[in-house]
C-alpha cells in the first residue's frame, strides 16, 4: 500500500518535487545557510508539510535520488558555480554553503565529482 500511493498521486508528487527544489533555492538565496547550516531533510519536510521519510521516499521514487542526495547535489552544483565564477577561497565558499568545517565540504565535493574543489578550479 505504501508504494502504491506514489503511483496514484503522480501530479501531487511532481508538485512536491518542484516545491522541494524551490525550497532549496530560496534557502540559499536568503542566506539561511550562513545562519542554520546545510538544510536537513527534516527541515525540508517540515517546510513542505510532510514527514522527512515520506519526502525522501517520494523523491527516490520520482527521481531515483533521496532527499539527502538532492540536497548534496544542489550544494555541489552551487559550489561549482562559485568555484568557477569567483576567486573566493575554498574555505569561504564552504562556510557560505553552510558547512561548519571546510574539510567536510571538500570530502563531499570529492565524493560527488571525483576531484577536490581546488583541482576542479584548476581543471576548469
Least confident of 1-10, 68-77, 84-93: 1-10
The pLDDT value given to residue 92: 92
The pLDDT value given to residue 1: 43
pLDDT per residue over 113-122, tens digit each? 999 999 998 8
The pLDDT value given to residue 73: 93
Read off the pLDDT of each residue in 9-21 and give the average, rounded to a whole number: 74
Nearest to 17 by CA among 51, 61, 53: 61
In this structure, what C-alpha cell is assigned to residue 63? 527521481
The pLDDT value given to residue 85: 86
pLDDT at 111 over 60: yes
Give the other-Cβ count within 10 Å of 42's Cβ: 13
Radius of gyration of the chain (CA): 16
Residue with cell 515520506: 54
Q: Write out the DSSP string of 63-120.
A: HSS-HHHHHHHHHHHHHHHHHHH----HHHHHHHTT-SSHHHHHHHHHHHHSS-HHHH
The pLDDT value given to residue 40: 92
By the 10 Å C-beta count (0-12 exposed, 13-18 middle, 19+ buried), 97 is classed as: buried
Q: What pTM was computed for the model?
A: 0.81
pLDDT per residue over 24-75, tens digit each? 999 999 989 888 889 999 999 999 999 999 989 888 888 888 899 999 999 9
Amino acid at each position: 500500500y505504501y508504494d502504491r500511493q506514489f503511483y496514484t498521486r503522480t501530479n501531487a508528487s511532481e508538485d512536491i518535487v518542484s516545491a522541494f527544489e524551490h525550497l532549496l533555492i530560496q534557502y540559499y538565496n536568503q542566506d539561511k545557510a550562513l545562519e542554520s547550516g546545510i538544510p536537513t531533510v527534516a527541515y525540508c519536510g517540515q517546510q513542505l508539510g510532510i514527514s522527512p521519510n515520506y519526502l525522501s521516499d517520494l523523491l527516490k521514487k520520482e527521481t531515483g535520488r533521496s532527499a539527502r542526495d538532492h540536497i548534496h547535489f544542489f550544494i555541489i552544483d552551487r559550489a561549482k558555480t562559485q568555484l568557477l565564477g569567483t576567486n573566493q577561497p575554498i574555505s569561504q565558499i564552504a562556510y557560505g554553503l553552510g558547512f561548519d568545517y571546510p574539510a567536510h565540504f571538500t570530502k563531499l565535493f570529492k565524493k560527488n565529482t571525483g576531484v577536490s574543489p581546488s583541482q576542479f578550479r584548476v581543471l576548469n
